[in-house]
Amino acid sequence: MSNNSPFLRQPASVQVVMLKVLAALLPGIAVYIHFFGWAVVVQIAIASVTALVAETVMLAIRKKALKPFLTDGSALVTAWLVALTLPPIAPWWLAVLGVLIAIVVAKHLYGGLGQNPFNPAMVAFCALIVAYPQLMSQWPAVGFTDFGAQMQAVFGHRDLDAVVMATPLDALRTALHTPEARATVSGVLGSHATFGNIGGRGWEWIALGYLLGGLWLVQQRVITWHIPAAFLGTLGLASLLASLASPDQYAGPAFHVLTGGAMLGAFFIATDPVSGSTTPRGKLIFAAGLALLTWIIRVFGAYPDGIAFATLLMNICVPLIDMSTQPAVFGHKGKQP
Amino acid sequence: MRPLFGFTGGVKPASHKTESNQGGIVVAPLPPVLTVPLRQNAGLASRPLVQAGDRVLKGQAIAGPGGSISVAIHAPTSGTVRGIETHPIPHPSGLLAPCVVIEADGEDRWIERTPVDPYALPVEELRTRLRDAGVVGLGGAAFPSFVKTQHGPTQRIETLILNGAECEPFITCDDLLMRTQAGQILDGAAVLAHIAGAQRIVVGIEDNKPEAVAAMTAAAQRAGLLVEVVAVPTRYPAGGEKQLIRVLTGIEVPFGKLPPDYGVQCFNVATAYATARALLHGEPMISRLVTVTGNVERPGNFEVRIGTPIADLLKLAEPKADTDRNLMGGPMMGFALPTLDAPVIKATNCILAGSKAMFPAPGPEMPCIRCGSCARACPMDLQPFEMYWFSRAKILGKAQEYHLFDCIECGCCTYVCPSRIPLVDYFRFAKSEIRAREKENEAADAARQRYEFRLEREEREKQEKAAKLAAKAAETKAKLAQAGDADDKKALIAAAVARAQEQKAEEKPGVE
Amino acid sequence: MLEALLVMALGSVILGGALGYASVKFRVEGDPLVEKIDAILPQTQCGQCGFPGCKPYAEAIAKGEADINCCPPGGEDGIHKLADLLGREFKPLSGEHGVEKPKSTAVIDENVCIGCTLCIQACPVDAIVGAAKQMHTVVASQCTGCELCLAPCPVNCIDMVPIPETIDNWKWKYPVFAVQKAA
Ligand code: SF4
Ligand code: SF4
Ligand code: SF4
């Protein structure tokens, strides 16, 4: 312990920060449960337990103090994010595997809390989607909330044809990419049973849930406005321009912002401080780049959502962005009255 | 009303001012022995003028300025000099330093005091008087005030800022001084402004001190002075010199520049008061107001003689039993006193008794999660976590690139860090390490030069010697030629042998 | 899939370009190697490295004739810096040249000094003043602590005194928090 000034400390801790992040996820999760059933809670539970066990083992191997690190809550945040990006009816071992990749590989092999250059949850997501593309895109239909059947899918034999349905993003891309189909955005969005009014039935409400939690995080000063604003703004702008240019081919901003993982990404994934930019201007650039890559991968890529890959790509650029966006220091700003 | 500019960052810790600002000012009793350190100001230590056994009067100079950035030091009471002894001084290192130890005779007899009319004397004379009265900044850094009233040819001082912000929690000595001595403070400020050539005086006081603001405003009106008294928003560190200048004028003084580069200069209110005492009353700086507060039964403000043992002072406030440390200064920028034997010095604004309950040990240090809280709290717009990263890894050059030396060590970053990293400790370490290395490099450069100079000299001497020898050889040859060819060879060999011996002898001077 | 790969490839190309640009832009052209090495050496000029001074040792290192771990006054710190500069592996100080000692200065016992001037001739930086048959004094601020004056003194009146810690040279320590200091 130090016996030097300052002797006063604000009662803040990593734990409090992480708990606030978890709390902010709750509204989104509540809506999620409403539309997709309680399976997501089971996934979160599986992920949390795995995370805590993995964290304990890794800390023990690395001979680190258990208590402060285990209770800091960062492993739980990672676990929840992994669970929320998996389909709720994914087999249980997928969540376990994902969390193990996140905690063991992406976090501890890089030096543990505060040292990981990549967002652990997104590393896990990318690894899983590359390894198990099938499982990762088997989303249940909105409103399929039969808990028994879901548990059957998670823990037992998977017979899903009846319940699986493409996510809005998937459906849109598949329809537009099928060579012979002369599909248009409005055609797909209007006709398909998956779609609700804006971002897909249910999805838009979940997004609003995340938005609510995210705004609370901004108000609590856990995150700043830069990343969410730049992310959503850029994503909206890119899709707006594209849809203006060719409304048949590209979906508009409302759809992109409210579907898939956009809102979760904007407030909870891109804002991971460890692997993201930290300077105000850097955050704007980081989030804008992230949004642009997300949009590109969504529209032109083959994966259901682009956020995960985009995050990892932008994570690589963080040191460069931060270095070149250092804010001007007091007195070195040039203008003086 | 002047527009305020504010500054980014800062924190709002609980202010704890009411504990100590309720009562009046208590005059601390005269201790039997006073220990007056020779080094009290920033810059060079003072040079002693007395010896063991000398009788001194109260206010008599016992040490003179030890250089251009140094001031005189005076006997705080009348008595006998016991000697110049090494003694603990209030410093985080706990090291000893030379002090003049005076045994008080109890008479407390003043030396003859000569008040002056500052407006009738040349400005240079006033500066010398300030220096010889030992006036230094009383806000904490104890920088000689007469130096601050000067400015270089490219500089100017238009606005004199009086710092009464007192933003550190717990400390109230400036508050009390402003409430009770507003008139004297402004008189002193007017003199300082006169010496510095400033046209305007602006007083900045945090708005959690309404009584002080009122007293100063009233005094300004009474005196008919053109002084603006401005209440600034309460936010630590609004009383930092750079922050206060920015709040009041919008000017940012960067590291490496001085306020006069931008037309301003800043003095603490207590310094202005000391100036008034020194010039208008002829009383050198021998005492000051000290807040004693924290974990004590009777917190308050004391008028204390420089040289009073801190232990004696603390006793007046009756520290509680569970006091486990005593700080000099406030909780944000003060330091733990290694020993209470150290005396009160000119820079002592507060003695703060602390306990485990008051300053609970922060939880275990965690890795930095780059949350950026520290950067948002930093009033200097720095990126503390980057500086921390490099300071911790001892990559000092990189830390410097992130403007390490702009850090004012205010502690805001450490205050907010959720990982409870003692960031400022790393910055202090890195700064003093860099300074030490710079000194070492300078010494190494000097040594290199001296060494090269010596080599050159040796080389030159060798050549001179060789030239001498060659001349001699030529001479011998010529002689031989004259003497004829008979014993030619023999003579030549003899000469060569002689030369070789001579050379040998010259090469090893003084070995025999 | 292909598009994702393309995006990644594009990203890495941009990144590589940026890094390459940075490395070109921020490269420092500097003094020749010998001077850089010499700048790291402590300039004690003690000769413990086996060379008559720091500069000759620097030249030997630059030519590859000497190892980087032969300078005791420079210590481990100096070896680290040399290793960084030259891109070599760090190695501990070689014992045969001496050990790292706390920095000291020579002090002449003026009562014993016979004024023989031998130390003056030995001092590589002319830090000793005095004339023949008069007592000599070491100018502490110029003394590098090389100890070369100790051996020549016929009456052994020179001592090496470690530089004490004072308020002026005191440094804030590297933060260590394992130990709870008693306050
Ligand atoms: S406040 Fe602490 S944890 Fe957050 S960035 Fe700064 S040093 Fe790191
Ligand atoms: S201590 Fe230094 S880095 Fe920390 S907040 Fe204050 S000025 Fe900024
Ligand atoms: S051992 Fe002595 S002479 Fe050789 S480099 Fe080191 S300080 Fe210089």
pLDDT digits (tens, 9 = 90+) for B222-243: 877 778 999 999 998 999 999 9
> What integer pLDDT is reported at residue A198 of this predicted model?
56
Q: What is the mean pLDDT of each run of 10 residues along chain B (512 residues)?
A: 83 90 89 92 88 92 91 94 92 90 92 90 92 90 89 87 93 93 92 91 93 92 83 92 92 89 92 94 93 92 94 92 91 92 93 90 86 92 93 88 92 92 93 90 88 88 88 80 62 64 56 38
Asked, for residue B198, whether it belongs to a domain, the answer is: yes
Asked, for residue B488, whether it belongs to a domain, the answer is: no
What pTM was computed for the model? 0.85
> What integer pLDDT is reported at residue B504 of this predicted model?
57
> What integer pLDDT is reported at residue C139 of this predicted model?
86
The pair of structure tokens assigned to B200 is 């305007």
> What integer pLDDT is reported at residue A302 of this predicted model?
73
Asked, for residue B462, whether it belongs to a domain, the answer is: yes
The percent helix, strand, coil of chain C (3-state, each to 5) is 35, 10, 60
The pair of structure tokens assigned to A171 is 């459906």
Residue numbers in B near A107 (CB within 8 A): none
| Cis geometry, peptide bond prior to residue B237 (ω within 30 degrees of 0) | yes
Q: Say whether pLDDT at C25 is over 80.
A: no
Tell the CATH topology of C102-163.
Alpha-Beta Plaits (3.30.70)
Asked, for residue B454, whether it belongs to a domain, the answer is: yes
Residue nearest to atom 6 of ligand 2 (CA): B410
> What integer pLDDT is reported at residue B199 of this predicted model?
87
Residues B436 and B295 in one domain: no
The pair of structure tokens assigned to C12 is 């890495």
Sign of CA dihedral C157, C159, C165, C170: positive
Q: What is the pLDDT of residues A73-116, one digit of tens each?
A: 889 999 999 999 988 888 899 999 999 999 999 999 988 888 88
B157-163 and B96-104 strand pairing: unpaired
The DSSP annotation for B206-263 comes to: ETT-HHHHHHHHHHHHHHT--EEEEEEP--BTTTSHHHHHHHHH-----TT--GGGGE
- Those residues with Cβ within 8 angstroms of residue B15's Cβ, 6 or more apart along the chain or in another chain: B169, B170, B208, B234
Residue numbers in C near A126 (CB within 8 A): none
ipTM of the complex: 0.84
Residue numbers in B near C44 (CB within 8 A): 447
Q: Which atom of ligand 1 is nearest to the CA of A278?
A: 5
- DSSP lists the bridge partners of residue B84 as B100
Tally the domains of chain B.
2
> What integer pLDDT is reported at residue C19 of this predicted model?
60
Q: CB of B409 closer than 6 A to ligand 2?
A: yes
Among B243, B252, B408, B417, the strongest candidate for a mutation testing the A interface, having the largest count of A CBs within 10 A, is B252
> What integer pLDDT is reported at residue C178 of this predicted model?
45
In this prediction, residue C181 has a pLDDT band, given cuts at 50, 70 and 90, of: very low
Domain that holds residue B387: 367-479
Residues B393 and B244 in one domain: no
- pLDDT higher for C15 or A206? A206
Name the residue of chain C whose CA is nearest to A298's CA. C4
Picking from C120-124, C136-140, C156-160, which range would have the lowest pLDDT averaged per residue?
A: C136-140
Q: Which of 22-51 (C) contact A at CB < 8 A?
A: 22
Pocket of ligand 3 (CB under 6 A): C 41-42, 44-49, 51, 53-54, 57, 71-74
Helix extents (H) in chain A = 14-36, 39-61, 66-70, 74-85, 92-100, 120-131, 133-136, 147-155, 168-177, 185-191, 203-219, 226-245, 253-258, 262-264, 280-300, 307-324
> What integer pLDDT is reported at residue A187 of this predicted model?
60
> What integer pLDDT is reported at residue B131 of this predicted model?
93
CA B96 to chain CA centroid, Å, is 17
| CATH no., domain C32-99 | 1.10.15.40
- Those residues with Cβ within 8 angstroms of residue B152's Cβ, 6 or more apart along the chain or in another chain: B260
| Cis geometry, peptide bond prior to residue A27 (ω within 30 degrees of 0) | no
Residue numbers in A near B379 (CB within 8 A): 330
Asked, for residue B10, whether it belongs to a domain, the answer is: no
The whole-chain average pLDDT of chain C stands at 80
- Those residues with Cβ within 8 angstroms of residue A5's Cβ, 6 or more apart along the chain or in another chain: B327, B329, B331, B332, B333, B334, B335, B409, B411, B424
In this prediction, residue C179 has a pLDDT band, given cuts at 50, 70 and 90, of: very low
Report d(CA A312, CA B123) in Å as an integer: 66
- pLDDT higher for B125 or A145? B125
> What integer pLDDT is reported at residue C4 of this predicted model?
56
**Cα dihedral: B333, B336, B340, B343 (round 10):** -30
> What integer pLDDT is reported at residue A183 of this predicted model?
60
Residues B130 and B179 in one domain: yes
CA angle C63, C64, C65 (to 5 degrees): 90
Q: Is C34 exposed, middle or buried (0-12, 13-18, 19+ CB in 10 A)?
A: middle
Per domain, the residue ranges of chain C are 32-99, 102-163
Picking from A12-21, A58-67, A146-155, A262-271, which range would have the lowest pLDDT averaged per residue?
A: A146-155
Q: What is the pLDDT of residues A34-56, one digit of tens each?
A: 888 888 999 999 999 999 999 99
Distance from CA of B418 to the nearest CA of A (A): 4
| Candidate from C34, C38, C43, C49 with most ligand 3 atoms within 8 A of CB, to mutate | C49
Q: How far is the CA of B255 from the centre of ligand 2 (A)?
A: 13
Q: What is the pLDDT of residues B436-454, one digit of tens each?
A: 989 888 888 888 888 888 8
The pair of structure tokens assigned to C174 is 């590297």
Residues B328 and B397 in one domain: no
Q: How far is the CA of B441 from the centre of ligand 3 (A)?
A: 15
Q: Are A254 and A198 within 8 A, CB to CB?
A: yes
Asked, for residue B324, whether it belongs to a domain, the answer is: yes
Asked, for residue B457, whether it belongs to a domain, the answer is: yes
Nearest CA-CA partner of B145 in B157, B159, B134: B134
- pLDDT higher for B141 or A176? B141
The whole-chain average pLDDT of chain A stands at 85
Asked, for residue B498, whether it belongs to a domain, the answer is: no
The pair of structure tokens assigned to A72 is 């800091």
The pair of structure tokens assigned to A91 is 């087999």
Q: Are B56 and B110 within 8 A, CB to CB?
A: no
Calculate the alpha carbon distances from A101 to A41, A156, C182 in Å. 20, 23, 44
Residues B313 and B183 in one domain: yes
Q: Are B107 and B182 within 8 A, CB to CB?
A: no
- Report the percent of chain A where pLDDT is more than 70: 87
In this prediction, residue A118 has a pLDDT band, given cuts at 50, 70 and 90, of: very high
C128-129 and C137-138 strand pairing: antiparallel
Q: Are A305 and A261 within 8 A, CB to CB?
A: yes
- Those residues with Cβ within 8 angstroms of residue A204's Cβ, 6 or more apart along the chain or in another chain: A196, A197, A198, A258, A259
Distance from CA of C7 to the nearest CA of A (A): 8
> What integer pLDDT is reported at residue B361 of this predicted model?
84
A313 with C183: Cβ contact below 8 A: no
Q: How far is the CA of B152 from the centre of ligand 2 (A)?
A: 29
Task: Give backbone dihedrals phi and psi of B353, rounded to 5 degrees, phi first.
Answer: -80, 135
Residues B153 and B294 in one domain: yes
Q: Which atom of ligand 2 is nearest to the CA of B424?
A: 1
Calculate the alpha carbon distances from C117 to A127, A147, C126, C128 in Å. 78, 99, 12, 9
Report the residue count for chain A.
337
B451 with C169: Cβ contact below 8 A: no
